[in-house]
């Protein structure tokens, strides 16, 4: 009998059989997100994932939400050195000074985008002209780690003051936030998301 989450059942193989991972795959990954705060949360979590497995981040997501004030940029932008030190002692998150400091800087950059007009959501979705891109990969080995679009968006984010968001991290964000649909064509979610599920 085929293991769920493997190529045999058509589901994207990266999510394996872990129930938390499967639920994330089945209900969140690749669904277009257009609201500012969830997009900011996804950017932050992807920046923390760099060098780690995504399941590590998923298991700590509630800890991140608590530690980072529900990912409210208005609150996070006011965090100072004492807050960074407090977060470095918080076992509910990944305790990495550079990533924590980048989160504070990224909150400030998100506020600057909001104050200058377009806002974070419009800024991010402009990378795909406002519409999700649907890829048609049949195997996991076809799915790229980064693309010319993620290269360009990573550069734009850096120019806008965001930190710790290289092209690979940005492409993972684009996949998660539904800017691109990278579910395999054999996965039921590929068609469901394409149909607006």
Active site residues: 24, 46, 54
Provide the H-helix boundaries in 28-137.
36-49, 54-59, 61-67, 73-76, 81-88, 97-116, 119-125
Residue the block writes with tokens 């996991």: 140
Cβ burial, residue 61 (10 Å; 0-12/13-18/19+): middle
Contacts of 62 (CB under 8 A, 6+ apart): 92
CB 147 within 8 A of CB 153: no
Closest residue by Cα to residue 151 from 131, 171, 135? 171
CB 150 within 8 A of CB 182: no
3-class DSSP assignment, residue 181 = strand
Residue 82 has a CB neighbour count (10 Å cut-off) of 8
């Amino acid at each position: 009998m085929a293991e769920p989450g493997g190529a045999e059942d058509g589901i994207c193989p990266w999510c394996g059989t872990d129930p938390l991972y499967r639920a994330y795959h089945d209900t969140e990954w690749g669904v277009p997100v257009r609201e500012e705060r969830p997009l900011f949360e996804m950017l932050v979590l992807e920046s923390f994932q760099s060098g780690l497995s995504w399941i590590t981040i998923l298991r700590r997501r509630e800890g991140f939400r608590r530690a980072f004030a529900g990912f409210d940029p208005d609150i996070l932008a006011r965090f100072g050195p004492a807050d960074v030190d407090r977060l470095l002692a918080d076992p509910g998150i990944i305790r990495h000074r550079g990533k924590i400091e980048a989160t504070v800087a990224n909150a400030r950059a998100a506020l600057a985008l909001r104050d200058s007009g377009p806002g974070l959501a419009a800024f991010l979705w402009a990378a795909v002209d406002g519409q999700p891109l649907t890829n048609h990969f049949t195997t996991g080995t076809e799915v790229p780690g980064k693309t010319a679009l993620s290269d360009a968006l990573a550069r734009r984010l850096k120019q806008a003051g965001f930190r710790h968001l290289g092209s690979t991290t940005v492409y993972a964000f684009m996949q998660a936030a539904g800017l691109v649909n990278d579910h395999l064509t054999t996965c039921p979610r590929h068609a469901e998301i394409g149909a607006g599920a």
